[in-house]
């Protein structure tokens, strides 16, 4: 059975002191034993500080929000390589978050290159895919998602899905207070798993963890996580409040124990 994950994307929020407090509250507030993976992704400048708080905790892993598409060291002012992230204690990295696609001009091709760089560095990439409201209303959700997935296959090969996590994040549900219903999320997650099975094999598809991201909150997490192809959440705003994030983690743990 796939192990559920709850990942907190702190985006560009916080200061050193508040980030350390948030990490400590999450670490202290989680149950001693939790049958899920928990990940926090603070701003890059605070990764080392948060690693100092978490130490070698088996309960909370450290993730980054982005990395350079060129893996080797070089004259790339302002960039951070996968090797640097790994050296800081990072285990996972987001690639292709919709905010980077929309606001910073990342393309499907550049996202694919970043995923390859993450894999080459020994990191686990969390590939973000999803459609805008106009694309959903135009009945193009599946076509958009396939284009985003295919771009990864084009540069990384089909076996990339054996070494990464996918996060479905409908753009229209990020930071808007709207979220896909459990049935809507399940429909896309199921589609992604079926597509991966067709491209690779059923075993890889069955093992692929697919997270839902888009206004995940304590009041909707349980219903989302109960869907058979929803393997946890990529949590934005609610990850900035320790009590909310811990509540979401507990709900993921309950659905994991229930076998859903």
Per the annotation, where are the binding residues? 9-11, 175, 215, 236-237
**C-alpha of 197 from chain center:** 20
Sort strands 37-41 and 165-168 into parallel, antiparallel or unpaired. Answer: unpaired
What residues act catalytically? 97, 169
Angle at Cα 236 formed by Cα 234 and Cα 240, nearest 5°?
Answer: 125
**C-alpha of 58 from chain center:** 18
Identify the bridge partners of residue 5 per DSSP, sorted by sequence position. 37, 232
> How many CA atoms are closer than 13 Å to the CA of 257, on its beta-carbon side?
10
Give me the residue label for tokens 């285990």: 91
Token representation of residue 76: 């790339």
Measured CA to CA in angstroms, residue 151 lies from 15, 56, 112, 251, 258 at distances of 35, 35, 6, 33, 36
- Binding-site entries for substrate: 9-11, 175, 215, 236-237
Give me the residue label for tokens 């990020």: 174
**Helix (H, G, I), strand (E, B), or coil: what is residue 113?**
helix
Close Cβ partners of 138 (under 8 Å, ≥ 6 residues apart) = none
Close Cβ partners of 248 (under 8 Å, ≥ 6 residues apart) = 6, 216, 217, 218, 221, 233, 235, 238
Distance CA 113, CA 58 (A): 30
């Amino acid at each position: 059975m796939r192990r559920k994950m709850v990942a907190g994307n702190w985006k560009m929020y916080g200061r050193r002191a508040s980030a350390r407090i948030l990490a400590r509250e999450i670490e202290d507030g989680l149950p001693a034993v939790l049958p899920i993976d928990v990940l926090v992704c603070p701003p890059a400048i605070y990764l080392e500080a948060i690693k100092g708080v978490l130490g070698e905790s088996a309960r909370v892993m450290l993730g980054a929000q982005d990395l350079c598409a060129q893996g080797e060291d070089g004259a790339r002012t302002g960039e951070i390589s996968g090797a640097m992230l790994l050296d800081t204690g990072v285990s996972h990295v987001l690639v292709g978050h919709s905010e980077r696609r929309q606001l910073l001009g990342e393309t499907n091709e550049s996202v694919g290159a970043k995923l390859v760089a993450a894999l080459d560095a020994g990191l686990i990439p969390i590939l973000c895919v999803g459609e805008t409201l106009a694309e959903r209303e135009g009945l193009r959700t599946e076509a958009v998602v396939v284009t985003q997935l295919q771009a990864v296959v084009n540069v990384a090969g089909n076996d990339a899905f054996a070494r990464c996590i996918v996060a479905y994040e409908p753009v229209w549900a990020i930071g808007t207070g709207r979220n896909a219903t459990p049935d809507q999320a399940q429909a896309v997650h199921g589609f992604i798993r079926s597509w991966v099975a067709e491209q690779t094999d059923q075993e890889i598809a069955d093992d692929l963890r697919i997270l839902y991201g888009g206004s995940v909150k304590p009041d909707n997490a349980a219903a989302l996580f109960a869907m058979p192809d929803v393997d946890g959440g990529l949590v934005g705003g609610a990850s900035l409040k320790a009590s909310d994030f811990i509540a979401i983690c507990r709900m993921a743990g309950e659905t994991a124990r229930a076998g859903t």
